[in-house]
Amino acid sequence: MPRFFIDDVPNGVSVNITGEDAHHITRVLRMKAGEMLTLCDSRGNDYICELESSEKNNVTCKILKTIPSVGEPSVDITIYMALPKGDKMDFIVQKAVELGAKRIVPFIAKRSVSRPDEKSLYKKCDRWRKIAKEAAMQSERGAVPQVSDVLNYKQAVDEAGEHELAIFLYENEKETSIHSVLEDKIFSSVAIMIGPEGGFADEEVNTAIQGKMQSVSLGSRILRCETAPIAALSIVMYESGSF
Ligand code: SAM
């Protein structure tokens, strides 16, 4: 059943949908009165609705039933992703949303090859936010994960360090495995930081460790920067009992 996010909790049995979503319903999905769709208020509620009327930019839905949203994990996971080359970030955002991340924070690392100017950064963030919304609709999330503005490295480490557990995925970490850090522990908020294709510079590793982040290995193989977040997110979701 098609799924759309609404900004406010409905205060009655009818909900009006306008703008892009109304266009998608009427022109792309070509939905007609009587068809069913789900609205989600991003506050833990799903509304099973019947389409009452569908003009081009204005759709009215009637709420038939309210049920709890089930698409949100028990642990809040934020992905701190060093800007990768090309359109890899599109893929990382989409997979992170499907896998349950609550937030995605892009940051510029020393070895980030991609150095877009402010205007193109704004456009990229806008595209990533659209990808996050589409992925949240497709994967039936209970809320649309936020894609934050691009941070510098120090800002990213400071913010990540405020989580209950801040995982620094370091390809040269030889002692501490992700399993040992997560085993038999329950966390309510986890940060996962991943480097760019060229990895982290030594001074970045020191800054992360001083910033209360835990350097962690994903094993002896070197994963691509777009593989590492998916692997780590899946592991944290599994260990937290969300899978
Ligand atoms: N330049 C590094 C090298 O060739 O040794 C590889 C960097 S890797 C392509 C990109 C990022 O993925 C790393 O900075 C790290 O955050 C993460 N990563 C990849 N493999 C990892 C591993 N085995 N353990 C922990 N993190 C890993």
- The DSSP annotation for 87-144 comes to THHHHHHHHHHHHT-SEEEEEE-TT------HHHHHHHHHHHHHHHHHHHHHTT-SSP
Measured in angstroms, how far is the CA atom of residue 224 from the centroid of ligand 1? 7
Report helix, strand or coil for 203. helix
Show the domains of the chain with their CATH numbers.
Answer: 3-68 (2.40.240.20), 76-239 (3.40.1280.10)
Largest CA distance in the chain: 61
Place 6 in a pLDDT band, splitting at 50, 70 and 90.
Answer: very high
pLDDT digits (tens, 9 = 90+) for 60-83: 999 999 999 988 999 999 999 999
pLDDT digits (tens, 9 = 90+) for 207-241: 999 999 999 999 999 999 999 999 999 999 999 98
The closest alpha carbon to 32, from 3, 61, 5, 12, belongs to 61
The closest alpha carbon to 207, from 109, 66, 97, belongs to 109
pLDDT digits (tens, 9 = 90+) for 138-173: 999 999 999 999 999 999 999 999 999 999 999 999
Place 198 in a pLDDT band, splitting at 50, 70 and 90.
Answer: very high
Residue 84: CB within 6 Å of ligand 1?
Answer: no
pLDDT of 56 strictly over 80: no
Would you give the DSSP letter of residue 230? H
> Which burial class, exposed, middle or buried, applies to 49 when counting CB atoms under 10 A from its CB (0-12, 13-18, 19+)?
buried
Q: Which of 92, 110, 114, 171 to mutate to test the pocket of ligand 1 (most atoms within 8 A of CB)?
A: 171
Contact indicator for 195, 82 with CB cutoff of 8 Å: yes
Question: What is this structure's pTM?
Answer: 0.92
The closest-lying atom of ligand 1 relative to the alpha carbon of residue 196 is 10
| CA dihedral sign, ordered 70, 128, 190, 184 | positive
> Which burial class, exposed, middle or buried, applies to 99 when counting CB atoms under 10 A from its CB (0-12, 13-18, 19+)?
buried
